[in-house]
Amino acid sequence: MGPSALCPGTFDPITNGHLDIVRRASRCFEEVVVAVLENPGKAPLFSTEERVAMLKEATSDLDGVEIASFSGLLVDYAASRGIKVIVKGLRAVTDFDYELQMAQMNRTLNGGVETFFVPTSPQWSYLSSSLIKEIMRFGGDVSEFVPSFVRQRLSEKLSAGRE
Ligand code: PNS
């Protein structure tokens, strides 16, 4: 398989579902660049720097994984890094419509970039960063779904927001 792949996302914050995809991609590619979208329009809870730092900590045991951030079009970022494969996780059919649309559009924008879909491991198929944030806001337990240090950062961030 090719030497490099790109795993893009918002990662606000990283979950065990994301980590599963990055870990599995790292077994198939020599280098995996996890790219955090700088998306102020989406008003993420964590800054780009905070999301990058959490990803670095969560993937520190994986060889060949680099954490980066980007703005603008994903295919332009891929081209600037000389990467031809985008890896995305698919949780359920509900993801499929949107992911297929993006993959087709990205391929139209740059025919040299392919999207590979990886089926999410079943135990994470219902997991999302949005649900994690909602559960935390209402005092629920997310320890099964994110690394413990991420749960800690969420707790600090949400309590700071209430001050
Ligand atoms: O984790 P997410 O929010 O599902 O990730 C979505 C992401 C970052 C992959 C997507 O929004 C993206 O690629 N944004 C960059 C802008 C872009 O290229 N848009 C055109 C997509 S066809």
**Parent domain of 80:** 5-125
CA distance 151 to 163: 19
In this prediction, residue 157 carries a pLDDT of 94
Q: Is residue 143, in this structure, part of any structural domain at all?
A: no
CB 129 within 8 A of CB 150: no
Q: Is residue 137, in this structure, part of any structural domain at all?
A: no
Q: Is residue 48, in this structure, part of any structural domain at all?
A: yes
In this prediction, residue 2 carries a pLDDT of 61
- The alpha carbon of 117 and the centre of ligand 1 are apart by a number of angstroms equal to 14
Query: Which candidate in 4, 129, 151, 153 is catalytic?
Result: 129
Q: Is residue 97, in this structure, part of any structural domain at all?
A: yes
3-state secondary structure 117-132: EEECCHHHCCCCHHHH
Cα dihedral 41, 111, 98, 118 sign: negative
CA atoms within 13 A on the CB side of 76: 6
What string of DSSP letters covers 82-128?
Answer: T--EEEEEE-SHHHHHHHHHHHHHHHHH-TT-EEEEEEPPGGGTT--
Count: domains in the chain: 1
Q: Is residue 95, in this structure, part of any structural domain at all?
A: yes
Q: Is residue 116, in this structure, part of any structural domain at all?
A: yes
Q: What is the CATH number of the domain that holds 65?
A: 3.40.50.620
Q: Is residue 20, in this structure, part of any structural domain at all?
A: yes
Percent of residues, the chain, with pLDDT higher than 70:
98
Report the nearest atom of ligand 1 relative to the CA of 106.
Answer: 22
Q: What is the mean pLDDT of residues 46-66?
A: 97
Count of Cβ atoms closer than 10 Å to residue 17 Cβ: 21
Q: Is residue 65, in this structure, part of any structural domain at all?
A: yes
- The alpha carbon of 17 and the centre of ligand 1 are apart by a number of angstroms equal to 17
- The alpha carbon of 73 and the centre of ligand 1 are apart by a number of angstroms equal to 8
In this prediction, residue 40 carries a pLDDT of 72
**Residue 18 annotated to the active site:** yes
**Per-residue pLDDT tens digits for 84-143:** 999 999 998 889 999 999 999 999 999 999 999 999 999 999 999 999 999 999 999 999
pTM (two decimals): 0.95
